[in-house]
Amino acid sequence: MNRMIATAVLSLMPLAANAQIGLADPGSLAQNYMSARELATILAAEGPCGFAYDPAALEAFIDSRVGAENTGFLATLSVPLGAAKLRMEKMSGSEKVVYCRQTGRNAQAFGFLAE
């Protein structure tokens, strides 16, 4: 329980830091946070699920969803990415099948899967 609270607090810190220094308006901060969470889930699956992602597609995703001035995006991405990687390590076989299936579908929808 304490670990979950700490993770939640840490995941909000980059948002608070960006808001304090005025890098973006609250709407774009929320969008960047959601983009970071979505991307983290998909990125964490790459190795364990046997996917290969197209670097150009990842760059296009970042360019379209993250403001160039958002210096906190990588910090925002790192917390859910770390959490997703830990979740992958602890998944049962069936959980991994479901996780890989859905993240593969997400990656395909975003055009991330390399040919």
pLDDT of residue 30: 62
Q: What pLDDT was estimated at residue 76?
A: 87
Share of the chain above pLDDT 70, in %: 71
pLDDT of residue 48: 94
Identify the residue with better confidence: 6 or 83. 83
24, 53, 69 from 110: Cα distances, Å: 25, 11, 23
Q: What is the pLDDT of residues 54-99, one digit of tens each?
A: 999 999 988 888 888 888 888 889 999 999 999 999 999 999 999 9
pTM score over 0.75:
no
Gap between the Cα atoms of 47 and 44, Å rounded: 7
Give residue 32's pLDDT band: very low, low, confident or very high (50, 70, 90): low
d(CA 44, CA 50): 11
**What was the pLDDT predicted at 45?**
96
- Distance separating alpha carbons of residues 17 and 71, to the nearest angstrom: 10
